[in-house]
Structure 1
Amino acid sequence: MTNLKGTGVALATPFTSENEIDEIALKRLVSYQINNGIDYIVVLGTTAENATLNAYEKELVKSIIKKETNGKLPLVLGIGGNNTSQVVEELKTQNVEGFDAILSVSPYYNKPTQEGIYQHFAEVSKASPLPIILYNVPGRTGSHMLPLTVVRLANDFDNIIGIKEASGDMVQAMQIIRDTPSNFLVISGDDMITLPMVLSGGAGVISVMAQGFPEEFSRMVNLGLQKKVDEAYAIQYQLMDGVDLIFKEGNPAGIKAVFELKKLAESHVRLPLMKASPELKSALSVFINQL
């Protein structure tokens, strides 16, 4: 799955002021990624506010992104949850034509044991028609998928090809990189430590920040993959303040404020999320102008 190395983006879903999907803006966002060096797109990840999308809207988002990319970029589809049988049913029944892999989050809220996480993904592996990227994000799920569990899954199931590691723990990331098979993709899910993970042997990133700054972020990752350390870190240091800002009031409120400032899409989010404050928009405007 070398086409899933480099910079992926967890694409946000733009909404109109009437709280409907902004189809024109979504097409514009996809084109912006394609034209500015992004390597692949994750569809219906957490940043897409998929928890607030109904079944029709999810299919609409999938359809628009597939049509707009038209095979120009690989696509990864988010399918996961904390009800194993429901996730298995979705994998068996959803139309995954045009997608290259599944991104599946570790079960949230239930707080399963490591054995429970392992058995969950064992069932996901058996049901999935596509390769699977695990997703560890303890800050959102309330449970932590430990390196031993990741290594076990990587060795036991051929179609589990990587992990989006978003614990923010560099030691954990290095343990996974060291102990998993050499072709297993260890992908950063934390924008701030993407470059250190890449330089440690990681495969790239699934990013929030990159969709607002695709040219800069993808260049940084590509330089990191080429081990051009000084050039890569020069970009990292330029982007750091922006990474802090886009997450300051929650995701995707921050990156949607960037879209609005760049005239890519409006900044509307769905409840229970709130739009970025005027103060945050002002700080982001300063960052964009300085960059």
Structure 2
Amino acid sequence: MQAFVGTGVALVTPFKKDFSVDTEALKRIVNYVTEGGVEYLVVLGTTAESATLSQDEKELVINTIVEANNGRLPLVLGVGGNNTLKVVEELKNRDFSNFQAILSVSPYYNKPTQEGIYQHFKMIAENSPIPVIVYNVPGRTASNMLPETVLRLANDFKNIIGIKEAAGDIVQAMKLIQHKPKDFLVISGDDMITLPMVLAGGAGVISVIGEGYPKEFSTMVRLGLERKVDEAYALHYELMDSIDMIFEQGNPGGVKEIFKSLQLSENTVRLPLVNVNESLANRLDAFTKQLLK
């Protein structure tokens, strides 16, 4: 499980101005973050705008990333949803030979009880041929996976190896870290509190800002894991304003503006998402140029 200690990045899906998938830009982004020092890549997560991709487009994204990665970094595939049987069907039918784990979000919209969440992930664990990282993001799912539920899953299913914890609650994260099984990974899903979580005993992060500024953010996480606190916090405070900015008007609109500044891709997003406004775009451009000069 050391493959998932450090910084993973949730890859965007770059689009051309006509809203088609830009495979050449995607290859550039894979190379950019890999050369920037991140430890692993997350494919078809929320940041990939996977909710607005057709099945054919999802396969195109997967194949493009696999080809561009060329075995350099571990890959995690987003496989989740609010229809448990549909998720299980995908787990049974997909070829996972290029992936080391799946990331599976807690069911959204249905608002299941904690027992319903447990039973959902029980079926996923029993049917997944590769390790599972569960994903708690109450701001998107309308339900919170409580520590008791996560710990129950962690203890009952050896192939549930970690959680991407994005409740934005450092106390909840600390409860998970306090009581987790020895090898279970508590991974931050909130860029702003990644360093405090790492210093509390977390395993790292699945990041958005780490995609825009991979060298700086992954260095911060490694310094935190090495307990070089002052050096890590110096980088945290250097990046702090940009973390606020990339989420100010929604994800991935913010990080796509960074990629536009870096001339890696267009800033195109698909409805119902829209581009950030001109003021925020200018602020992100100025920050990027100052940070990377």
- Name the TM tier (shorter chain): over 0.9
Cα displacement (A) at 1:289: 2.8
Unaligned runs of 5+ in 1: none
Where do residues 205-220 of structure 1 align in structure 2 (5 Å cutoff)?
205-220=205-220
- The reply to whether residue 276 of structure 1 matches residue 272 of structure 2 is no
Cα distance in 1, alignment partners of residues 94 and 267 from structure 2: 30
Output the aligned Cα RMSD: 0.6
Where do residues 161-200 of structure 1 align in structure 2 (5 Å cutoff)?
161-200=161-200
Give the 3-state SS of the residue equivalent to 2:27 in structure 1: helix
**Residue equivalent to 1:133:** 133
Give the 3-state SS of the residue equivalent to 2:248 in structure 1: coil
Cα displacement (A) at 1:290: 2.9
What is the letter of the counterpart of residue 27 of structure 2? K
Give the 3-state SS of the residue equivalent to 2:242 in structure 1: helix
Cα displacement (A) at 1:286: 2.1
Give the 3-state SS of the residue equivalent to 1:162 in structure 2: strand
Cα distance in 2, alignment partners of residues 192 and 175 from structure 1: 19
State percent identity of aligned pairs.
63
Give the 3-state SS of the residue equivalent to 2:77 in structure 1: strand
**TM-score using structure 1 length:** 0.99
Cα displacement (A) at 1:287: 1.4
**Residue equivalent to 2:114:** 114
Cα distance in 2, alignment partners of residues 173 and 290 from structure 1: 33
**Residue equivalent to 1:73:** 73
Cα displacement (A) at 1:50: 0.3
Cα distance in 2, alignment partners of residues 137 and 212 from structure 1: 21
Unaligned runs of 5+ in 2: none
- The reply to whether residue 14 of structure 1 matches residue 18 of structure 2 is no
Give the 3-state SS of the residue equivalent to 2:18 in structure 1: coil
Q: What CA deviation, in whole Å up to 9, does each residue of 1:5-34 have, x standing for no partner?
A: 100000000000111000110000000011
Where do residues 213-232 of structure 1 align in structure 2 (5 Å cutoff)?
213-232=213-232
Cα displacement (A) at 1:276: 1.5
Cα displacement (A) at 1:96: 1.5
Cα distance in 2, alignment partners of residues 124 and 108 from structure 1: 15
Q: What CA deviation, in whole Å up to 9, does each residue of 1:58-79 have, x standing for no partner?
A: 0111101111111100000000
What is the letter of the counterpart of residue 216 of structure 2? E
Give the 3-state SS of the residue equivalent to 1:289 in structure 2: helix
Aligned residues: 291
**Residue equivalent to 1:250:** 250
**Residue equivalent to 2:51:** 51
Cα distance in 1, alignment partners of residues 97 and 45 from structure 2: 17
Paired residues of 2:257 and 2:285 also in contact (CA < 8 A):
no
Where do residues 31-46 of structure 1 align in structure 2 (5 Å cutoff)?
31-46=31-46
Q: What CA deviation, in whole Å up to 9, does each residue of 1:202-249 have, x standing for no partner?
A: 000000000110000000000000000000000000000000000011
Cα displacement (A) at 1:182: 1.4
- The reply to whether residue 157 of structure 1 matches residue 174 of structure 2 is no
